[in-house]
Structure 1
Amino acid sequence: MISRSTKTLKNPIFFRLTHSTFIKNPSFSTLPSSSSSDIPKRLHHKDWLAPNEVLQVFTSLRDPNSVRTALDHYSKRKDYKPNEALYTLVVNKLAQARLFDAIDNVMARIKSESKCRLSDNFFRTVIKAYGNVGGLINKAIETLYDMPNYGCWPSVKTFNFVLHLLVSTKMFDVVHEVYLEAPKLGIEIDACCLNILMKGLCEYGKLDAALKVLDEFPKQRCIPNALTFSTLMHGLCVNEKVDEAFGMLKRMENEGIDPDTITFNILIAGLRKQGRFEEGIKLLEEMRGKGCDPNAGSYQEVLYCFLDAQRFVEAKEFMSWMIPKGVGPSFVSYKALIHGLCKENLVQDVDWVLKQMIRQGFLPKMGMWRQILKSMFSEKSSHCCISYEEIVDN
C-alpha cells in the first residue's frame, strides 16, 4: 500500500494554467456585507438548535446571497457545530447561484476552523461544483490536491472523476500530469483510471501511447475489460485502422474478455466509414452468433450500411424488420431512403416509408415533398432534379 504523506502537495501545474482553463468564463459575484435582515429569525433565537433544525433553516433560504451571511451568524452562536450535511447544502446553493468566490470562502473557513471531519463525497461535491457547474477546471484540480490538508485523502473514484473532467474538457496535456500525482495522493490505480487515460490519448490522436497503456494493466495489477478494448477500437476506427481494430477484437477474445454491444457497434461503424458495407452487414449476424444482443445503435449502423451502398430496397426491408422490434430509424435514415426510392421510381415503397415516418412523429419538409411529387409525376426516375444534399439540408 502506498504511504500517504501529510505534507502539503506542491502543484507546478497551476503556474501554467491560464484563462483557457475557464471553460465557461463565469462571472464572480461579491456578496454584500452582513445585515440582520438577511439572517433567518430562528438564528436570532437563543434556544439551542439541533443539527437537523440548522439544516431546515439553511434549506429555507431562497436568496443564495444570504447563505454566507447566515453561516457567519451561525458561527457566532454557542451551539455552532457545523457538519458535512450543512457544508454540502451550502456549497450546492452557492454553486447553483454561481457564487464561486463564496465557495472559496467557505472552503477557507472549513480549513481554518477544523470543526468537523469531511468525507471524500463532500470534496467530490465541491469538485463537481467548480468543474461541472463553473467550468473552473484549475479549481477542481486544486481541490483534489488540497484534500489531505483538510484531513481527507481522495478515493480513486474522486481521482478518476477529475481525470474524466479533464478529458471531457479536452485538457489532454494536463491529464497525464494529474495521473502522475496519484502516488502522492495515495491513489491505487484501477482499470477505470487507465481507461480514462487511454481515452484521453485516443482523443488527443496519440494512438501509439494509448496502445502502450494496455501494457500498464498488469504492471498496476489491473485487468482490462470490454471498455478498455472498445476505447482502443474506437480510436483505431476513427483513424481508419479498422483491420487493427479487428486484431484488437481477437486479442480481447484470446484473453477471455467477451465483446459487448458497444464493441460491435464501433466495428460496424468503422467498416461503414471505409465503405466495407457487406462486412458491416454480416457482422450483425456474427454478433448474434457470439451471444451479444444488438441494440438500436447496431440496427441503425447496419441500416446506414444499406443506404450508403445504395441498396434501397434491402434498406426498406431491413427497416420493416426493425420497426416491429421497437427500433425507430433516424430522421436522416428516412430522408436518405425516400431519396433513394424516389430516384429509382419505387413509388409504392416510398408510400410505405412515408407512412412509417409520420407514425414515428417525423414530418417531411418541403424539399422531401418536392422529391416525392417529382417521382410520382415523372415518367422516368432520371428526371428527378432534387439532389440528396438538398434533401438533407432541408
Structure 2
Amino acid sequence: MISRSTKFVTHPILQSLTQTPSFSTLPSSFSQIPKKLHHKDWLSPNEVLQVFTALQDPNSVLTALDHYSKRKDYKPNEALYTLIIDKLARAHLFDAVDNVMNRIKSERKCRLSDDFFRGVIKNYGNVGGHIKKAIQTLYDMPRFGCWPSVKTFNLVLHLLVSTKMFDVVHQVYLMSPQLGVEIDACCLNIIIKGLCESGKLDSALQVLDEFPQQKCEPNALTFSTLMHGLCVNGKVDEAFGLLKRMENEGIEPDSVTFNILIAGLRKQKRYDEGIELLEQMKLKGCAPNPASYQEVLYCLLDAQRFAEAKQFMIRMVSKRVGPSFVSYKQLIQGLCKENRVEDLDWVLRQMMRQGFVPKMGMWRQIIRSVFSKKSNHYCVSCEETIDDLIT
C-alpha cells in the first residue's frame, strides 16, 4: 500500500520552485540594495539621504544609486551627491566618483553650487592625490552650469603649490578670465609662494606690481612670503628692504614677519641683530608670539652663550612659553661642556615639568659633567661607574 503522506516535492529543483524568493537567494548586487528602495512608497529627500548614509559597504553605493534612479520618485539633490561622492572618495573608489560626475553631467537633474564642486576638488586632490582630475573639475564647472568662485580657484592653485606642480600654476592662473574669476590678493599670494618655492625670486617680486593692476592690495602675508624666500636664499638685507617698503605703504608687520627676519639673521650668524629685533618689534607695537622667543633662544644657543640662554629660558617660562625639546637638549649639552653643573638642576626640572624626558645620552653627559666637576682627573673606572648609574 502506498502511503498518502508521501512527499512529492523532494528534489532540490522542485523545492526551489515552491519557495518564496528571499534576499539571500537573489544575486549579490540585488541584495546590496537597501530594502527601503524596493518599497513602492514615495521617499522624501531626507529618507533617501538616510538610506545612503546607512550603507556600510562603499562598493554598494553605485548599485543603490542605479536602483534609485529607476524609481518614479527619483529626484537627486546636492546633499545626496555630496554624501555619495564623500563615501566613495573615503574608500578611494575614484573610478566610481568619475562615474557619478558623468551621471550628474548627463542627467542634469539638479543645480549644484560652488561649495559642491569645491568638495569634489578636495576629494580628488587632498584625499586621492588626483591633481589632474581636480584641475579638470575646475575647468568643467561651467559645463555643469556653475561658475567657480575665486575661493575654489584659489583652492586649486594652493593644491598645485603644495604638491610642487609649479609649472602648472601659471597655466591655471591664465585660465581665470575664461572661468569668470576675479583675481584677489589671496590668489596673488599663492602665486608668490609658488614662485619663491621654485627659486624664482625675481619673478615673485615682480608679482607685487600685479596687485594694483588687479585692483588688489598686498598684505602682511604677501611681504612675509617674499621675505621668507629671500631669507632662505641668504638675502636678508633685501628682506629688511621689504620691511621698510611695507611700513612705507602703511602695512603693519606681524609677528610672523619678524620671526622670519630673526630666523634669517640667525642663519647668517648675525645673532645680536636677531636678539635686538625682538625688542624692536615690541617698540613697533607688535607682540612677540612663542615662535619669536624660540628663535631668539636658538640665536643664543647657536652663539654658545649658554648662561644667557638659561636666563632667557627662565624669562620664556615666566611668560608661559614652553621651550622646545631641541633647545633643552642644546642647553644641557652646552652647560655640560662648560661644566656649569649648578645650572643643570633648574633646566632638568623645568624640562620634566614640561613633559619632556631626558634621553640616555643626555643623562650620560650630565653624570659625566658632575663627575669631572668633582675630580680633576677622569679614569676608565669613572666611565664604568656612570654606566652602572644609568643602567
> Given the two structures, how large is their TM-score scaled by the length of structure 2?
0.88
Work out whether residues 39 and 66 of structure 1, in 8 Å CA contact, stay in contact via their aligned partners in 2: yes
Structure 2 residue aligned with 1:322? 316
Long gaps (5+) in structure 2: 1-26, 384-391
Runs of 4+ residues deviating >6 angstroms = 380-386
Q: Does 2:125 correspond to 1:136? A: no
Q: Does 2:356 correspond to 1:362? A: yes
CA distance in 2, matches of 1:383, 1:120: 75
Work out whether residues 64 and 94 of structure 1, in 8 Å CA contact, stay in contact via their aligned partners in 2: yes
Structure 2 residue aligned with 1:310? 304
The CA deviation at 1:366 is: 1.2
**One-letter amino acid matched to 2:220:** A
- Give secondary structure in 2 for the equivalent of 1:35: helix
**Equivalenced residues, count:** 354
- Give secondary structure in 1 for the equivalent of 2:178: helix
CA distance in 1, matches of 2:188, 2:309: 40
Q: Does 2:59 correspond to 1:60? A: no
Q: Does 2:327 correspond to 1:333? A: yes
Structure 2 residue aligned with 1:292? 286
Q: 1:249 aligns with which of 243, 249, 254?
A: 243
Q: 1:94 aligns with which of 85, 88, 98?
A: 88
Q: 1:41 aligns with which of 30, 35, 38?
A: 35
Deviations 1:214-268 (A, max 9, x none): 0000000000000000000000000000000000000000000000110000000
- Give secondary structure in 2 for the equivalent of 1:78: coil
Change in 2 beyond 3 A, CA 1:355/1:45:
same
Structure 1 residue aligned with 2:172? 178
Q: Does 2:182 correspond to 1:188? A: yes
Structure 2 residue aligned with 1:346? 340
Structure 2 residue aligned with 1:301? 295
Deviations 1:262-311 (A, max 9, x none): 00000000000000000100111111111111111001000000001111
CA RMSD of aligned residues (A): 1.7
CA distance in 2, matches of 1:134, 1:80: 30
Structure 2 residue aligned with 1:198? 192
Q: 1:123 aligns with which of 117, 126, 150?
A: 117
Greater RCO, CA 8 A, separation 6+: 1
Structure 2 residue aligned with 1:224? 218
The CA deviation at 1:379 is: 4.0
> Given the two structures, how large is their TM-score scaled by the length of structure 1?
0.88
Work out whether residues 375 and 381 of structure 1, in 8 Å CA contact, stay in contact via their aligned partners in 2: no
The percent identity for this pair of structures is 79
- Give secondary structure in 2 for the equivalent of 1:152: coil
Work out whether residues 371 and 384 of structure 1, in 8 Å CA contact, stay in contact via their aligned partners in 2: no
Work out whether residues 43 and 74 of structure 1, in 8 Å CA contact, stay in contact via their aligned partners in 2: yes
**One-letter amino acid matched to 2:294:** Q
Structure 2 residue aligned with 1:107? 101
Structure 2 residue aligned with 1:277? 271
Change in 2 beyond 3 A, CA 1:184/1:312:
same
CA distance in 2, matches of 1:80, 1:258: 56
Structure 2 residue aligned with 1:20? none
CA distance in 2, matches of 1:58, 1:197: 40
Aligned pairs for 1:18-29 (under 5 A) are none
CA distance in 1, matches of 2:42, 2:254: 58
Indicate the larger mover: 253-262 or 288-297: 288-297
Q: Does 2:92 correspond to 1:77? A: no
Indicate the larger mover: 137-146 or 286-295: 286-295
Deviations 1:4-50 (A, max 9, x none): xxxxxxxxxxxxxxxxxxxxxxxxxxxxx972111001111100011
